[in-house]
Chains A and B, each alone.
Chain A
């Protein structure tokens, strides 16, 4: 029972973060929200008894992807400023 409640809360948090990632005007907020989606998803995988997938999701989805998005965002901003 308590696992079900936790799962529902996690699913709602994933949905909320996904909506924030899509609708927010600031790209930085979107990137962090997308990382949070992966973080909640990895906890969800743990609840679904898939610790392998949870590890991958936490390390790649919320760690590496977020930092790569930040690097790319920084580069895009700089190029745009140089060209204007």
Chain B
């Protein structure tokens, strides 16, 4: 009884807070100061057609670096705590047979999904999407592969090598910006090129490729680590 009253009081308080912020909400009739600055000067300064990507990689590049670092930290914590015991590796895992449709379809669809993920992060400066989205799509392709073949072993050394190299190159590119351009993660040290072309926007496509590889390998690492700890199905 007391518990229910307590829950009710907490929910009412929460509703009050939400209602207060809702009634005080005053939608702005245009872009605010910072957004106006980005929207007006962004195309000339950064040269990326996708303004969201330009903001994420250059103006707010430090935040992206922080996000990637947090993702790396969580991936390594999961890998650390889910370490597989040695005797488990010998006994093969007993699994239910996957259906013919899933097994056949995954062979055709998985490469297409990987290709789409790569497309999303290579075109991150032109179309919506970018490194994070492309990496997540690549990891979804790996999930489909593991669904079709649950006992498949994923090579962890490749994943960690790709992850380390791309993270390292991301930071190196950021530091290069300090010396050759305006500041940390400034993309101006490669020629900005023609607006809207694939080879444009300076270093943004390169940085996005590294972010995409890093995020993709981190998420794939999390999924495959969890997959290895599944010994048998019940």
In the complex the two chains form, is A55's CB within 8 Å of B129's CB? yes
The stretch from B38-46, B98-106, B219-227 touching chain A is B219-227
Answer whether residue B133 sits at the interface, using C-beta atoms and an 8 A cutoff. Answer: yes
State which residues 122-145 of B face A: CB under 8 Å: 128-130, 132-133, 136-137, 139-140, 143
CB distance from A13 to the nearest CB of B (A): 21
Answer whether residue A26 sits at the interface, using C-beta atoms and an 8 A cutoff. Answer: no
| Total of A-B residue pairs, C-beta within 8 Å | 57
Task: Give B195-234 as 1s and 0s: 1 = Cβ < 8 Å from A's Cβ atoms.
Answer: 0000000000000000000000001001100110111111
CB distance from A4 to the nearest CB of B (A): 16
Answer whether residue A68 sits at the interface, using C-beta atoms and an 8 A cutoff. Answer: yes
State which residues 30-84 of A face B: CB under 8 Å: 51-52, 55-56, 59-60, 63-64, 67-68, 71-72, 74-75, 77-78, 81
Beyond A52-B52, A68-B222, is A63–B143 a contact (Cβ under 8 Å)? Answer: yes
| In the bound complex, CA of A63 to CA of B136 (Å) | 9
Answer whether residue B120 sits at the interface, using C-beta atoms and an 8 A cutoff. Answer: yes
In the complex the two chains form, is A56's CB within 8 Å of B128's CB? no
| Cβ contact of A64, chosen from B139, B147, B232, cutoff 8 A | B139
In the complex the two chains form, is A51's CB within 8 Å of B129's CB? yes
Beyond A59-B136, A64-B140, is A52–B129 a contact (Cβ under 8 Å)? Answer: yes
- Grouping DSSP codes into helix (H, G, I), strand (E, B) and loop, the B interface class, with mixed when no group exceeds half, is helix
Q: Which residues of A contact B231 (CB under 8 A)?
A: 78
CB distance from B101 to the nearest CB of A (A): 19
How many interface residues does A have (CB within 8 Å)? 17
In the complex the two chains form, is B137's CB within 8 Å of A55's CB? yes
In the complex the two chains form, is B52's CB within 8 Å of A78's CB? no
Beyond A52-B128, A55-B128, is A74–B140 a contact (Cβ under 8 Å)? Answer: no
| In the bound complex, CA of A68 to CA of B61 (Å) | 29
Q: Which residues of A contact B133 (CB under 8 A)?
A: 52, 55-56, 59
Q: Which residues of A contact B140 (CB under 8 A)?
A: 59, 63-64
In the complex the two chains form, is A52's CB within 8 Å of B223's CB? no
Beyond A51-B128, A64-B143, A64-B219, is A56–B230 a contact (Cβ under 8 Å)? Answer: no
**20 pairs of residues in contact across A and B, judged by CB atoms under 8 Å:** A51-B128, A52-B129, A55-B137, A56-B132, A59-B133, A59-B137, A59-B140, A63-B136, A64-B139, A67-B143, A67-B223, A68-B222, A68-B223, A68-B226, A71-B226, A71-B229, A72-B226, A74-B230, A74-B233, A78-B231
